[in-house]
């Protein structure tokens, strides 16, 4: 579990560094693009949704406090992680991760838009955060298979993806 926690934090820091230096036609993603839900998704696949729920609270607060201390991002990371845990629990094949990505991105963008409107943030900032939240959902689903392989090896646990590959 601690390896997954550390890996998720490392991935978030690397993504934050990359996104700080990347600009496409003047558009720059915000810290809402950090794939925090990846950790909860991986933990759900190996240990179950209960542990992922507890873990998502800690990682959401930690990543938000360390990298971007905004209440909207803490809530977004928390809801995205919990959504990832719920939607990924019945996943039995790799294509189910696309459904998971859509749900995570959708819930996170809804949370960011709602809190942004409640707090009266400028619409351009809300737009950037909403796009970044959708990117976060996609990144979370793309990083799960990459992180899952070493975590399975180190923890000596088997996910449904590994069983499908062995069949």
Provide mean pLDDT across the span 142-157. Answer: 78
What pLDDT does residue 16 have? Answer: 67
Q: What is the pLDDT of residues 45-68, one digit of tens each?
A: 888 888 888 888 888 888 888 777
Summarize pLDDT for 81-139 with one digit per residue, the tens: 899 888 887 766 777 788 888 999 999 999 999 999 999 999 988 998 899 899 989 98
Contact yes or no for 157/46 (Cβ under 8 A): yes
30 dihedral zone (left: phi>0; alpha: psi -120 to 50; beta):
beta
Inform me whether the pLDDT recorded for 161 exceeds 80: no
Q: What percent of the chain clears pLDDT 70, i.e. is strictly above it? A: 80
């Amino acid at each position: 579990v601690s390896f997954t926690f550390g890996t998720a934090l490392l991935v978030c820091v690397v993504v934050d560094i990359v996104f700080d230096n990347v600009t496409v036609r003047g558009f720059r993603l915000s810290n809402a693009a950090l794939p925090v839900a990846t950790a909860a998704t991986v933990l759900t696949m190996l240990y179950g949704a209960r542990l992922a729920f507890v873990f998502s609270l800690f990682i959401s607060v930690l990543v938000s406090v360390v990298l971007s201390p905004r209440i909207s991002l803490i809530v977004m990371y928390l809801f995205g992680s919990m959504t990832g845990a719920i939607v990924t629990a019945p996943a039995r094949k790799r294509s189910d991760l696309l459904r998971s990505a859509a749900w995570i991105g959708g819930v996170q963008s809804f949370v960011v838009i709602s809190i942004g409107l409640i707090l009266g943030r400028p619409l351009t900032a809300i737009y950037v955060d909403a796009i970044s939240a959708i990117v976060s959902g996609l990144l979370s689903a793309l990083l799960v298979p990459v992180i899952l392989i070493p975590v399975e090896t180190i923890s000596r646990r088997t996910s449904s993806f590994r069983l499908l590959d062995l069949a």
